[in-house]
């Protein structure tokens, strides 16, 4: 039997001293001053620009009270890493903002910090500060991540041109399937497939290495990460460039697990294309750049698939085997 947690939360400063200070990597590049003062001091090399992004996970919206805190710690950082990857940057430092109800257990904190530590070490980033408050309405986890990119080298959503090819990394729709199942609406077959799909939802795989290689090679026109659903995010990329897109649904890469679900239920296709949380890179490049891109993806060990092309019109048109594919969901929106 699991022992009941008897340790209550210590004061804010003891929490910082016991858990967040030890989470810092010692002597980390660029950290002039880390946790402990009113602000951290970070050194940005003269040749670089600073990238910054924030993502917040809210109990009741992004996770539930009973969700595994280790995975939450990982995921809070991984989704931010994906944003830095999407700009072609090198992630470096982060701030951790936590709002915690007073009945939060130390066991929860320890597992949460262990998850953060795992992802931090795997991607070579460190915490440099944060904020800790109480909460009367569940836990909130905010991470602000800073990264570096060469002067003028950041890859934005803008810059796509008609005739560009559209490419996406990894596979699309796995997380959407897992989420639909977890939220009760969908029942999926196959134990192993289930575990794979859940893991794609819980543990995104930010494409940091490939993002850096793509920025280095200056080989794409536009880039972003897919978090709100492939179709919606392609729409965002097009809007930023003032172009349209033709997306071929039959070319979109699905995992073997997602394929098996799709074979049993072809009506799942719109969900795969519009559900969110893929955390894959979406980019556009001229046809002449595709060979170099394929080499970079190979070297990074990341699948990269051509799924469509940029058009001059302002719409995103999705077809399946040359027939228009009706999609009723445009992607995730909070309000
Ligand atoms: P201030 O009141 O000046 O904002 P705080 O008392 O909030 O400072 O924080 C003290 C130090 O601890 C700061 O350096 C801050 O960055 C750090 N800190 C606070 N909360 C966290 C946290 N959750 N994770 C990491 N560092 C934290
Ligand atoms: Mg202060």
> How do residues 21-36 score in pLDDT, each as one tens digit?
999 999 999 999 999 9
Ligand 1 centre and the CA of 48: distance in Å? Answer: 27
Ligand 2 centre and the CA of 38: distance in Å? Answer: 4
231-238 average pLDDT score: 97
Give the residue whose CA is nearest to atom 1 of ligand 1.
Answer: 38
Ligand 1 neighbour 34 (Cβ under 6 A):
no
Ligand 2 centre and the CA of 22: distance in Å? Answer: 20
Phi and psi angles of residue 222, each rounded to the nearest 5 degrees, phi first: -135, 150
The predicted pLDDT at position 195 comes to 92
Q: Which two tokens stand for residue 305?
A: 């698939």
**pLDDT for 1 beyond 50:** no
Q: Any residues with CB less than 8 A from the CB of 2 and at least 6 apart, and which?
A: none
Closest CA to 232 of 264, 270, 184: 270
Q: What is the pLDDT of residues 149-190, one digit of tens each?
A: 999 999 999 999 999 999 999 999 999 999 998 887 788 767
Phi and psi angles of residue 159, each rounded to the nearest 5 degrees, phi first: 105, 0
- Rounded Cα distance between 169 and 262, Å, is 20
pTM: 0.94
> Which of the two residues, 335 and 309, has the higher pLDDT score?
309
Ligand 1 neighbour 36 (Cβ under 6 A):
yes
Q: Which ligand is nearest to the CA of 17?
A: 1
Ligand 1 neighbour 37 (Cβ under 6 A):
yes
Ligand 1 neighbour 14 (Cβ under 6 A):
no
Q: Which ligand is nearest to the CA of 130?
A: 1
Q: Decide if 42 contacts 125 (C-beta within 8 A).
A: no
Closest CA to 7 of 107, 100, 134: 107
- The residue assigned the tokens 């800790």 is 132
Phi and psi angles of residue 277, each rounded to the nearest 5 degrees, phi first: 70, 30
């Amino acid at each position: 039997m699991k022992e009941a947690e008897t340790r209550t939360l210590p004061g804010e400063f003891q929490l910082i001293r016991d858990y967040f200070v030890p989470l810092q990597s010692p002597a980390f590049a660029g950290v002039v001053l880390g946790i402990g003062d009113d602000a951290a001091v970070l050194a940005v090399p003269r040749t670089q620009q600073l990238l910054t992004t924030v993502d917040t996970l809210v109990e009741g919206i992004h996770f539930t009270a009973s969700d595994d805190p280790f995975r939450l710690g990982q995921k809070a950082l991984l989704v931010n890493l994906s944003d830095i990857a999407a700009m072609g940057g090198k992630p470096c430092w982060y701030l951790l903002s936590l709002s915690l109800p007073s009945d939060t257990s130390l066991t929860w904190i320890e597992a949460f910090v262990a998850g953060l530590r795992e992802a931090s070490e795997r991607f070579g980033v460190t915490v440099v500060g944060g904020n800790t408050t109480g909460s009367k309405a569940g836990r909130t986890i905010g991470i602000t991540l800073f990264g570096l990119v060469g002067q003028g080298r950041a890859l934005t959503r803008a810059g796509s041109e008609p005739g560009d090819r559209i490419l996406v990394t990894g596979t699309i729709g796995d997380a959407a399937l897992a989420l639909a199942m977890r939220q009760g609406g969908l029942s999926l077959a196959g134990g192993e497939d289930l575990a794979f799909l859940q893991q794609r939802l819980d543990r995104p795989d930010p494409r940091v290495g490939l993002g850096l290689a793509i920025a280095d090679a200056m080989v794409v026109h536009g880039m972003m990460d897919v978090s709100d659903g492939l179709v919606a995010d392609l729409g965002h990329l097009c809007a930023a460039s003032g172009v349209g897109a033709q997306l071929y649904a039959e070319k979109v890469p699905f995992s073997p697990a997602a394929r098996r679900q799709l074979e049993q239920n072809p009506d799942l296709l719109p969900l795969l294309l519009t559900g969110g949380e893929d955390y894959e890179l979406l980019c556009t490049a001229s046809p002449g750049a595709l060979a170099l891109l394929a080499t970079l993806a190979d070297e990074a060990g990341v699948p990269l698939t051509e799924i469509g092309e940029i058009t001059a019109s302002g719409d995103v048109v999705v077809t399946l085997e040359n027939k228009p594919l009706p999609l009723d969901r445009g992607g995730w929106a909070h309000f």
